Structure 1
Amino acid sequence: MKMLENQVAIITGSGRGVGRAVAEMMAEHGARVVVSDLDPEPAVEAVKEIRAKGGAAISVVGNVTDPDFPKKIIGETIQAFGKLDILINNAGYTWDGMIHKMTDEQFQAMLDIHLIGPFRLIREAAPYFRDAGKADIEQGTLHYRKIVNVSSVAGVMGNVGQANYSSAKAGLIGLTKTVAREWGPFNVNCNAVAFGLIDTRLTQAKEMGEKVNGVEVGIPQKVRQMFEQSIPQKRAGTVEEAAAGIFYLASPFSNYTNGHVLHINGGWYT
């Protein structure tokens, strides 16, 4: 039996990068996955690839910051698969700026995508996590459900030019630990990963001109090279290495891990 056989997982921001690697890894291990992205093309492509390998997947396109999005994605998940076992809050982007130049819009945007969006999704999922876990206990059955929130070393240590992003990611850690305390009695494991420099379009050379939501993302090439040299392993992590940490926290291996922040950073911040 595969490790995630008969499990149903939602992964936000999974049309590309780390999220896609997570979706493919979970499908490979038997999970039925919901691929969600802001853009339809990468989401549909990811679903096609998963199905081509024998996996089960659907795509739900939408913006995590839309107040109606949680009801939409969870509703479509239940309609397609009948239940929900795993929620991965991965969607996000960066909008950097120094504090003295940062606008209210810029600060709020990071709270919306990295903290408020995940909060709304977790709240909407309560019937399938907290309530379902309570019913299991009353019936004498044991089933663990998993929530994994994607934070960052910036949320632990802060980062120059990222007051908005750091604040949101720090808040997400607080949310993670609170959910673990409130829902742990119902066999819900809520943990977070704190990524360092992972090789995605958000951390590629800014000179490449990549945009998310109309905002330029990336790191200036010289700064990126400096970051790489400060990492003990002297390189960025791959999306597969990042996905492996999320997979662990979503798997039965983490059944007694709750409220934890798993650092995946090559020893950059310890």
Structure 2
Amino acid sequence: MKVLENQVAIITGSGRGVGRALAEMMAEQGARVVISDMDHEPAEEAVQAIKANGGEAIAVIGDVTASDFPKRIMDETIGAFGKLDILVNSAGYTWDNVIHKMTDDQFQKMLDIHLIAPFRLIREAAPYLRDAGKADLEQGKVNYRKIVNVSSLAGVMGNAGQANYSSAKAGLIGLTKTVAKEWAAYNINCNAVAFGVIDTRLTQAKENGEVVNGIAVGIPEKARQMFTQAIPQKRVGTVQEAAESIFFLASPQSNYINGHVINISGGMYT
């Protein structure tokens, strides 16, 4: 039997990068996957890749920060698959600036996508996670359901030029620990990963010209090289390695892990 046989997973930001790798990994292990992304083309490509490999997936296109998005994705998930077992809050981007030059909009946008959107999605998922777990217990059943939030070492340690991102990711850690305390009795595991430098478009050389939501993302090449040298393992993490860490927390192997933040950083923070 596959590890996630008969499970249903929502993964935000899964048209590309870590989310895409995770979606394919989960589908290979039996999960039916909901691909969530702002962009139609990469989301549909992810769905088709999963189907071509014998898996099941649907795409829900939209902005996770929109107030009506959480209900829409839950409705479409339940309509397609009838339940929800795993929620992964992975969508995000960066918009860097030093504090004395940062605008209110820059600060708020990072809170919106990295903290408020996960809160709204978790709240909207309550009937399918918390309430379903409570109903199971009343019937003498034990079924574990999982929430995994993607935080960052910036939320643990802070990071120059990222007061907005660091604050949002730190808040996400607080949300993770609180949900774990409130819902653990219903066999809901809520954990987080805190990534260091993972090789995605957000950490590519800024000179490459990657843009998300009209905002230039990436790290200047000189700074990227300095970051890499600061990692004890002397390399950045791969998308696959990042996805595997989330997969572990979404799997039955993590059934007694709750409210934890696992640093995935090559030893940058221990």
TM-score > 0.5 by shorter chain: yes
Q: What displacement does 1:155 show?
A: 0.2
Q: Distance in 1 between matches of 2:104 and 2:255?
A: 40
Q: What displacement does 1:124 show?
A: 0.1
**One-letter identity of the residue aligned with 1:27:** A
Q: Distance in 2 between matches of 1:219 and 1:109?
A: 19
Partner of 1:260: 260
**One-letter identity of the residue aligned with 1:243:** A
**One-letter identity of the residue aligned with 2:181:** R
Q: What displacement does 1:263 show?
A: 0.7
Partner of 1:150: 150
Write out per-residue CA displacement over residues 12-43 of structure 1, whole angstroms, 9 at most, x where no aligned residue: 00000000010000001000000010100000
Q: How many residues end up aligned between the 2 structures?
A: 270
Q: For 2:143, what is the secondary structure of its paired residue?
A: coil
Q: For 1:57, what is the secondary structure of its paired residue?
A: strand
Partner of 2:220: 220
**One-letter identity of the residue aligned with 2:163:** A
Question: Are 1:233 and 2:233 matched, yes or no?
Answer: yes
Q: Distance in 2 between matches of 1:235 and 1:37?
A: 28
Q: Distance in 1 between matches of 2:93 and 2:112?
A: 11
Q: Distance in 2 between matches of 1:206 and 1:266?
A: 22
Q: Distance in 2 between matches of 1:38 and 1:218?
A: 19
Write out per-residue CA displacement over residues 62-119 of structure 1, whole angstroms, 9 at most, x where no aligned residue: 1010000000111000000000000000000000000000000000000000000000
Partner of 2:208: 208
Q: For 1:35, what is the secondary structure of its paired residue?
A: strand
Partner of 1:50: 50
Q: Distance in 2 between matches of 1:251 and 1:16?
A: 21
Q: For 2:160, what is the secondary structure of its paired residue?
A: coil
State the percentage of identical aligned residues. Answer: 78
Question: Are 1:98 and 2:87 matched, yes or no?
Answer: no
Q: What displacement does 1:269 show?
A: 1.4
Write out per-residue CA displacement over residues 145-190 of structure 1, whole angstroms, 9 at most, x where no aligned residue: 0000000000000000000000000000000000000000000000
Q: Which runs of 4+ in 1 moved over 2 A?
A: none
- Report the aligned-residue RMSD: 0.4
Q: For 2:6, what is the secondary structure of its paired residue?
A: coil
Write out per-residue CA displacement over residues 193-213 of structure 1, whole angstroms, 9 at most, x where no aligned residue: 000000000000000111111
Q: For 2:127, what is the secondary structure of its paired residue?
A: helix
Q: Distance in 2 between matches of 1:88 and 1:192?
A: 9
Partner of 2:250: 250
Partner of 1:168: 168
